[in-house]
Amino acid sequence: MTDLLPVGFEDTPKNSPILIAGPCSAETEEQVLSTARELSSYGVKLFRAGIWKPRTKPGGFEGVGSEGLQWLRKVKDETGMKVATEVANKHHVEEALDAGIDLIWIGARTSANPFAMQEIADTLAERNSDVHVLVKNPVNPDLELWIGAIQRLYNAGIRHLGAIHRGFSTYGKHLYRNLPQWHIPIELRRRLPQLPIICDPSHIGGRRELVAPISQQAYDMGFDGLIIESHCDPDCAWSDKAQQITPEVLNFVVNSLVTRDQHYTTENLTLLRQQIDQVDNELLEILNKRMRVCREIGQYKKEHGMTVLQTGRYDDIMQSRVKLATEMGMSADFMRTVLSSIHEESVRQQLEIFNRR
């Protein structure tokens, strides 16, 4: 994929980050136009709005459909911004191209589906279109599936190609709506160094206050741009209201970000070090989670008059983990040291619970 062209259009100065902004969904003509006018007044050049919305469960707002294409047309004519929307099948692609949409993105539920991806790629090939296409990561953390989706488009002749990192679905409660798992887009960069990667802090964070810190992290890691959900009246948005910010806040956030001059390097060592940083963060999070569970066990033992130390259990843990570690290629000694340190800290934390009145 060495002949990829930049995504971002002539209006985006060379090397400056791409910014795509607009509401999660087009709701009404007034909402689309007033959001667009405000964004345009702040200098935004690429406007997004979903008109076909893939919803996890039936019953949610599924988008206004084709009617919204006319509103995007108006945005284009009135403000001069380029317009972007999500497509998920052949009909969407055809209608979007007919309506003069400049950039299409493939959503996370669609990029996870090779049949849908092939259908979209074939339709684009038939139309011989030079539309810009961005592929969101699949909902599940599967880099090969993400690359496969991108390859299908590339094989169909699409050259204005990019990827969007929107985080990965997970079960249970977390700080993020979709876990960033930064090492995955970093590995994508290593595998396809020519491919622009844009970060979607809105869908990663799921909350307004996380848009700025996640955007900064993305800049720090050398992402090529951001796609941020912005709505003229976020509290009344018909979808994803918790994560949408007003154009004014968006302008503030974007202007507060520190951009790094040094562009993303393809040097393997830098990328690998970033992966190490990420993995260490994950390791800390996992350790923290383990300690939390240990404290809960401590509470249970206290309430049931049990002792903190249950040596049988410790021996079982040691044996099974050391066996697993050696199967993975780590030394038994190393694993014993790690486990005994973890155990020591777990006991310390449980004792704290015991000593609490």
Contacts 24+ apart (CB under 8 A), 96-99: 96/69, 96/131, 97/127, 97/129, 97/131, 99/69, 99/70, 99/72, 99/73
The answer to whether 138 touches 111, Cβ cutoff 8 Å, is yes
The binder of 44, among Mn ion, ligand PEP, none, by C-beta within 5 to 8 A per type, is none
- Residues in CB range of 221: below 8 A, 6 or more apart: 182, 185, 186, 264, 274
Distances in whole angstroms, Cα of residue 44 to Cα of each of 16, 56, 156, 196, 262: 13, 30, 30, 19, 23
Question: Residues 6 or more apart from 51 whose CB is under 8 A from it?
Answer: 25, 26, 63, 64, 65, 66, 67, 68, 69, 72, 85, 86
Minimal CB distance to ligand PEP: which residue? 107
Which residues contact residue 133 at a Cβ distance below 8 angstroms, ignoring those fewer than 6 apart? 103, 104, 105, 106, 124, 153, 158, 160, 161, 162
**Of 17, 50, 68, 222, the one binding ligand PEP by CB under 6 A:** 50
- Residue 88 binds to Mn ion (criterion: CB under 5 A): no
Residue number, 239 or 346, with CB nearest to Mn ion? 239
Subset of 274-303 contacting ligand PEP (CB under 6 A): none
3 state DSSP class of 20: strand
Assess 240 for contact with Mn ion (CB under 5 A).
yes
Measured in degrees and rounded to the nearest 5, phi and psi for residue 260 equal: -95, 135
* 203 binds ligand PEP per the rule CB under 6 A: yes
- Identify which of residues 108 and 153 has a Cβ nearer to ligand PEP in the complex: 108
- Establish if 24 lies at the interface with Mn ion (CB under 5 A): yes
Smallest separation (angstroms) from ligand PEP to the CB of 199: 11
Pick one of Mn ion, ligand PEP, none as the site partner of residue 136 (Cβ within 5 to 8 A by kind): ligand PEP
Binding of Mn ion by 119 (CB under 5 A): no
Nearer residue to ligand PEP within complex by CB, 183 or 203: 203
Residue with smaller CB distance to ligand PEP, 129 or 239: 239
Q: Which of 129, 132, 133, 130 is nearest to 110 (CA)?
A: 133
Q: Which is nearer to ligand PEP, 64 or 322 (CB)?
A: 64
**Contact status: 24 vs ligand PEP (CB under 6 A):** yes
How many residues touch Mn ion under the rule CB under 5 A: the total is 2
Q: Which residue has the tokens 């990667």?
A: 197
* Burial classification of residue 342, based on how many CB atoms lie within 10 Å of its CB (0-12 exposed, 13-18 middle, 19 or more buried): middle
Query: Which of ligand PEP, Mn ion, none does residue 108 bind (CB under 5 to 8 Å by kind)?
Result: ligand PEP
Taking CB within 5 to 8 Å according to partner kind, which of Mn ion, ligand PEP, none is near residue 107? ligand PEP
Instruction: Identify which of residues 38 and 240 has a Cβ nearer to Mn ion in the complex.
Output: 240
Q: Which stretch binds Mn ion (CB under 5 A): 18-26, 57-65, 156-164, 293-301?
A: 18-26
Binding part of the chain for Mn ion, among 75-83, 124-132, 208-216, 236-244 by CB under 5 A, reads 236-244
**CB 205 to Mn ion: min, Å:** 12
Binding site for ligand PEP (CB under 6 A): 24, 50, 107-108, 136, 166, 203
